[in-house]
Amino acid sequence: MAIVDLVSQVADLGPASYAASLSAALEALSNRRTNLLLVDLFSIGFDFEGLRQLVTASGAPVIAIDDRPNPSFAALAEMAGARGYLSKNSELDMFRSVIRAVVEGGEHFPREAPVRRGRSSGALLGLSPRQRDVLKCIAVGMSNQEIARSLGISPGTVKLHIHAILRLTGARNRTEAALIAGRFLAPTIDG
C-alpha cells in the first residue's frame, strides 16, 4: 500500500486502488479506467502473458514491479507492453522519477541482459521439456512425490531432473530454483 501512497504523491492521477491478483486486476479494469497501472510481478505469478492482458485492458501506461532487480524480467515486461520496470528495493527518488517519466510518456528499463526473442530462456539453458515441467512443479510448491504423480514418473527420476535443473540454472537448492523459475519459464513474447 505504500506504493499506492507514493503514486498519489508523485502525480495527480486520481484515486489509487489495489488488486492482489491478476484476476482481481482484470476485473477492476473492466469496471473503470486508470491513468497508470503498477503491476507486482510476484502477485501475478510472473505471468508475462497476463501482464500483456493488463496492458491491453488498462489502455494506460504500465510499470512492472519486482522484488529484486532482474534484467530478464525487465526485458520480458517490456516485450509484454509495459513502459517501465522497477524493483521494490529501488530508492524512493528512483520510484518517483520513473513514475513521472512514464506518466509523461517516457520509459524506464534496465539494459544489462536483454532477452533473446523467438527462443525460450529454458531452451537457452539446455533444459529439456521434461526438466521445464519439473521446474514448473517446483515453482508451484509441489513435493517430489506430487511431481512424480503429476508427471507420471518415478520419484527417483524427479530427483535426477532436479539435480540437472539445479546444475543448469545455477540455483543452490529447490527454493532458489522456485524463486528464479520465472526467468526460465516465462513465455517468449514476440513484439
Per the model's pLDDT, the better-predicted residue between 55 and 185 turns out to be 55
Please report the pLDDT score of residue 20 as a whole number. Answer: 77
pLDDT tens, position by position, 124-170 = 456 788 988 898 888 888 899 999 999 999 999 999 999 988 887 76
Determine the 3-state secondary structure of 54 from DSSP: helix
108 phi/psi in degrees, rounded to 5: -150, 115
Give yes or no for a contact between 85 and 109, defined as CB atoms under 8 angstroms apart: yes
Q: Is the pLDDT of residue 187 over 70?
A: no
Place of cell 517516457: 106
pLDDT tens, position by position, 27-84:
888 887 788 888 888 888 878 888 989 999 888 899 999 888 877 778 788 888 999 9
Query: Any bridge partners for residue 85, and if so which?
Result: 64
